Amino acid sequence: MAEWWQGAVFYQIYPRSFQDSDGDGVGDLPGILSRLSYIADLGVDAIWLSPFFTSPMADFGYDVADYCSVDPLFGNLDDFDRLLAKAHDLGLKVIIDQVYSHTSDQHQWFRESRTNKTNDKADWYVWEDPRPDGGPPTNWHSVFGGPAWTWDTRRRQYYLHNFLSSQPDLNFHNLAVQDAILDVARFWLDRGVDGFRLDVANYYFHDADLRDNPPSGLSDQSRPYLYQQHLYNRSRPESLTFTERLRALTDNYDDRMMVGELFTSAPVDRTLAYTEGKRRLHTAYNFFFLEQDHVSQQLLQQALTPFEKQNAWPSWSFSNHDVPRAVSRLTNGHPPGDGLAKLLLALVAGLRGTIFLYQGEELGLPQADIAFEDLQDPEAIRFWPDNLGRDGCRTPIPWEAAAHQAGFSTVKPWLPIAAPHRPQAVDKQMSDPRSVLRFTQTLLAARKSLEALQKGTLTFHEAPDPMILFERQQGASHVLCAYNPSPTPLATPIPLPNQSRQSELVVSERARLDGDQLTLGPYGFAWVSLRVRA
């Protein structure tokens, strides 16, 4: 029996940039509450809230100083309870980000841990003595640049941080740390959340033997991190054991789920291992599609086929708060536009798995161009002028084209409103039946009506390059999904192994069906229902 999250569509909310309710230029929980009906009207099944917990905001909430409180910037626990209750009233499930691999250096646990080598939490973080020459214990790099180790003058030791130096890694080899994290999860489950999105879930453990990472063999990379194979500071087998403890806890509650973010670009890597059977994560995704600059049948086959063979349940997204927006990135070398935005939405919605859409994706928003003086993201500032995307995809949602600050706030927002986004504001698109927003509503309604697209298997068919062609099937329900990610028209016969079938266009753009011949115009696509004649 399929669970509610299998085949569901989640809508990711980045709270800072969704809706400001109190006039400080930063989005907040009451602002999200005021827009929940908009989200429900999209036709999604659930929302994922990025971090809103107490934090010094060095990494904008992914550096947690208190796991069980709401940062005053976003509101308070009563605001969260009201948001959760309203979402449930609207039929929306709610999952929240949980950042377990590291905390803020302002967390009370770390404040105590760094005081000396004998305190109660001395071993709650990864502390190590220097090498004989005084250097860091290993050659591991931080994702955000520089060594993954920082010297602490009080303890006269190095501590590990896979991200910012203000984000020290917890020591999951210590069972007391695992127990404390399980208590955090229990706090939110008891409060009624429907599950968790687990940030960098493959970073919980480090190699206890502190072995150096070997070189990746890649040269001329934009970041030193990419010069290594990260065999010893991520994706350690011990992480699988902890996910089993998390799953056992979650299974004590009805209808809850966990989706893991696996920070790797390998198409499968250990994703299958993290979702093995019913004893680990319910589902997981990695950065394979999030780091591509095009879409193709070959890439889809590379990513999806292993899951089909193992009958495992994946999750997919083309956009999130960490990468350039899909409509500006997955261009296949051609200018972005509404046609491409609709095609990408129809493509990700056609895949087998749980689907994650990022706020603004339903509007077809392109990547915003942020001036250096307006950058907020520490990674973007460090690696400027490379466009890493994290500020350009985090700009506020444009609600009203002509309104002050596009209806997001009454004051200057924490990131500027992107001028090209105003013509794509919600109010403009809602009144245009051909807009990306109205298309998203139609698309998701059609997806809910087609059982094959929610739960069915996926089989690829041969097609003229660069067409993407696959079939979804659940029982007697068959849907052929065809996409043309190019400006050149393409045509293909519909594969009809059973000649007693009849075909019908369900959702399409720039598509024509003549008998068993399907023609797709530039950036055209079609969902074709294949039905057995009575």
pLDDT digits (tens, 9 = 90+) for 285-317: 988 999 999 999 999 999 998 888 887 899 999
Report residue 304 CA to chain centroid gap. Answer: 17
44/9 Cα distance (integer angstroms): 5
- Per-residue pLDDT tens over the stretch 206-221: 999 999 999 999 876 7
Q: What letter does residue 300 receive in the DSSP assignment? A: H
Does the pLDDT of residue 497 top 60, yes or no? no
Closest by CA to 446, choosing from 349, 515, 336, 357, is: 349
pLDDT at 534: 56
Virtual torsion, Cα 131, 133, 136, 138, nearest 10 deg: -60
Does the pLDDT of residue 389 top 80, yes or no? no
Q: Are 169 and 126 in contact (CB under 8 A)?
A: yes
Does the pLDDT of residue 475 top 60, yes or no? yes
Mean pLDDT of 193-203: 97
Backbone angles phi, psi at 519, to 5 degrees: -115, 130
Select which of 45, 71, 261, 391 is catalytic.
261
Task: Provide the greatest CA pair distance for the chain.
Answer: 80
Mean pLDDT of 452-461: 94
pLDDT at 498: 58
39/401 Cα distance (integer angstroms): 19
* Domains of the chain with CATH codes: 9-104+175-445 (3.20.20.80), 456-532 (2.60.40.1180)
Does the pLDDT of residue 447 top 70, yes or no? yes
- For the stretch 141-169, what's the b/e string if a residue is b when 16 or more beta carbons lie within 10 angstroms of its beta carbon? bbbbeebbbbebeebebbbbbbbbbbbbb
Mean pLDDT of 350-366: 97
Confidence of residue 531 (pLDDT cuts 50, 70, 90): confident
Does the pLDDT of residue 105 top 70, yes or no? yes
- Per-residue pLDDT tens over the stretch 34-59: 999 999 999 999 999 999 999 999 99
347/524 Cα distance (integer angstroms): 11
Closest by CA to 163, choosing from 83, 93, 64, is: 64
Q: Round the average pLDDT of the chain to a whole number and report it.
A: 94
Strands 9-13 and 46-49 turn out to be parallel
Most confident of 102-106, 260-264, 285-289, 476-480: 102-106
Confidence of residue 501 (pLDDT cuts 50, 70, 90): low
Does the pLDDT of residue 383 top 60, yes or no? yes
Q: HSE on the CB side for 187, CA within 13 Å?
A: 14
Select which of 169, 199, 361, 362 is catalytic.
199
Does the pLDDT of residue 484 top 90, yes or no? yes
- Per-residue pLDDT tens over the stretch 156-179: 999 999 999 999 999 999 999 999
* 3 noted as active-site residue: no
Lowest mean pLDDT among 36-45, 230-239, 502-511: 502-511
For 217: left if phi > 0, alpha if psi spans -120 to 50, otherwise beta; the answer is: left
* 308 noted as active-site residue: no
- Per-residue pLDDT tens over the stretch 248-291: 999 999 999 999 999 887 777 678 899 988 899 999 998 899 99
Mean pLDDT of 353-363: 98
